[in-house]
Amino acid sequence: MNKKIIINIKGMTCASCSASNEKALNKTQGVLSANVNFASKKAYVEYNSEITDELKIKEAIIKNGYKIESDIDIEHNHNKHAMTHNIKMKNGEHKHGGEDIKKSWRAFLMSAILSLPLVLEMFYKYRIGINIYNMDLIMWLHILLATIIVFYFGWRFHKMAFKQAKKFQANMDSLISMGTLAAYFYSLWALVINKEGYLEAASLIIVLIILGKYFEAKSTGQAGEAMKKLMELGVKKAKIVFNGEEKEVDISEIKVGDILIVKPSEKIPLDGIIIEGESSIDESMLTGESLPIDKTINSKVFGATINQDGIIKIKVTEIGEATVLSQIIKTVEEALGTKAPIQKLADIISGIFVPIVIIISIITFTVWIILTNNISVSLINAIAVLIIACPCALGLATPIAIMIGTGKGAKNGILFKSGESFEKAKNINMIIFDKTGTLTKGELRIKKIINNPQYNFSEEKIIKIAASLGKNSEHPLSRAVYKYAKEKNIILKNFKNAKEIKGKGVLAFCSEHNEIIGLGNIKLLEELKIETNWAKDILTDDHLEVGTQLFVAHGDKNIGVIIVADVLREEAKKVVSNLKNMGLETAIITGDNKKIAKNVAYELNIQNVFAEVLPDEKSFAIKKLQEAGKKIIFVGDGINDAPSLVQADLGIAMGNATDIAKEAGQITLMANNLEKVVEAIKISKLTFKTIKQNLFWAFIYNIVAIPLAAFGFLNPIIAAGAMSFSDVSIVINSLRIYKK
């Protein structure tokens, strides 16, 4: 049986660390796939539980030299405690992350204060004249301070470097450790023989890198803000109705079928349906829609949404990982565990980056010693090469942008299932919509009522007869007529012996007039032996509203026709216009007849129409367009759309989509709002653009900075500051995604 687990790894400092852990996990027997995200410091592992278990997977990480904080099981186990447990654990994790930030800040402050005398030494050499072993007491103080900074505050770098060395590996900690230790021990030797040392360089490298780590942790924390807010949305307590009395219980004690009471301004604890009361519900945290939604009896409600103004009782239908909130968290977590194809290049380079830098550093030292015969200059330039190199920037470039893009999407009711979605959006040149339920509301409405001029029946009379028949039918067309009559407060008749004739319509007997009453298509009129000339004229009249014609029969007379059609979404026209402004072709694909499809296309100004397409032919039609060079987004909602969602370069499932369609799509919209399609495309393109910018600057930084250090233009202190800033700049650039 395949299972998935997310493991929080402590101690990763650069892309080399994530690559090392990924390699160790993928080599573990029973592990099917492993992705390690440097930005989120998590490993996303899928494994065969019959071959290995969580303990062995964690041991692989520990043996690799890293620690584990906590793990999050994202397997569908239908455990009623799962959602509460996961949210609590993640909240604790974020609290712990906050403590790490504070710890880094305290370490920086303390080390910075201790380094002040060493910094002053660079500008003014103060001596008190008390010598111990031929060295002024002030210099002994400097050695003490440098020792504390290098070995106490810098211990984490040396410790990890040692662990890596034991495995014949190296990471960013190796570069920092080698650089600072070389500067420190050279300085001790230099001071013994009365030469200038570089204790201030060894110390300030540590101080500046700790400061860089603080800013990196803080800005990375901001990058995960949307994800944090998602995780903190769940409630811990709920008011349950038990034996007619209200009782507050822990959320983990609630079972499917329990009745909960939710008062105004309270969060709805779990997914369910309203069985008593009505209210407006703020579902913005799920859908990104700012306006509250009116809910009445039998309406679905979702956990973590906010009840605004009414007291409601809900019957719980979903608990634990089956709730919508838990599914969103799971989807976002899994998306963060995937890699965009563009990251492969960065991963390859990151895997060999540190050894290459060490080789360049050795070459730098060797060349300078040959040219100058000055060990001091040679060592300083070699150290500068070690310190200026930044594998972190390469490692952060892609995952940090994906983290922010995914978080922004989730906040706005758009779920990106993988990092690949962002990259796929860049080449899209065509967007194809399913019609029913996507461009339209999927709600049939009466567009026109026409009475047959041969007979004197009013529109209200025609509707009254039709709706009296329709109330006995479950067919969507009949229900649309019945719903219209109810909205108009038309009093209906009770006909006898109502029956449906498949493919034709519904019949009943009117005892008042002693006649058969019928509602259906022209085939029903033929069945009743009613003259059909007027009906045929209606069917062939191109000037009438497009829709399905329902003829109303009264005895031997066809008294009128009701035209029923699906209603376009209010935002559809604006969305199509926006997509065209973005340079995208638009198209409709539908199983409906050509006349209806072309009418919808005309209303929305869509040029490409694929009508009367059978469900199993939709994906084939998309494939043919792809073969012709089109890069396609398909937007759909039904079971029959699933193959098309998979076939398309990028599939977007609407909020009202079936579960199968949602599974097939790479992006899921939580709201039934087409404007989210435009938003999803914009977020995708912006995120990928940011990834490219990040990688460009990460590569450029290292390509320019390392030669500058090797040629002696940068001292180690400036190199340490520049290296720290490079990481932070990548995160800051990625945070711009939030603001656009």
Residues with active-site annotation: 434
Q: Tell me the one-letter amino acid at 310.
A: G
Q: Which helix (H) or strand (E) holds 432?
A: strand 430-434
How far is residue 277's CA from residue 299's CA, in Å, rounded to a whole number? 10
Tell me the pairing of strands 259-262 and 312-318.
antiparallel
Are the beta carbons of 567 and 588 closer than 8 angstroms? no
Closest CA to 272 of 304, 234, 232: 304
Backbone angles phi, psi at 561, to 5 degrees: -135, 145
Residue closest to 609 by CA, chosen among 429, 432, 430 = 432
Pairwise CA distance, residues 633 & 653, whole Å: 11
Amino acid at 184: Y
Instruction: Count the neighbouring beta carbons within 10 Å of the beta carbon of residue 332.
Output: 22
The three-state DSSP-derived secondary structure of 169-236 is CCCHHHHHHHHHHHHHHHHHHHHHCCCCCCHHHHHHHHHHHHHHHHHHHHHHHHHCHHHHHHHCCCCC
Residue 466 token pair? 């039709």
Strands 632-636 and 608-610: unpaired
Quote the tokens at residue 302. 């979702």
Q: Which of 577, 588, 572, 604 is nearest to 675 (CA)?
A: 572
Contacts of 408 (CB under 8 A, 6+ apart): 226, 683, 737, 738
Strands 430-434 and 585-589: parallel
Using DSSP, state whether 485 is helix, strand or coil: helix
The answer to whether 13 touches 173, Cβ cutoff 8 Å, is: yes
Q: How far apart are CA 509 and CA 469, in angstroms?
A: 10
Query: Residues 12, 15, 16, 18: what is their CA dihedral angle, to the nearest 10 degrees?
Result: 60
Determine which helix (DSSP H) or strand (DSSP E) holds 546, and give its type and residue range. Answer: none
At 299 the three-state DSSP class reads coil
> Can you tell me the distance from the alpha carbon of 442 to that of 571, in angstroms, rounded to the nearest whole number?
14
Token pair recorded at residue 656: 């009202």
Which residues, listed in sequence order, are joined to residue 42 by a DSSP beta bridge? 8, 37
Transcribe 682-738 into DSSP letters. HHHHHHHHHHHHHHHHHHHHHHHHHHHHHTT-S-HHHHHHHHHHHHHHHHHHHHHHH
Please tell me the number of Cα atoms within 13 Å of 384 on its side-chain side. 26
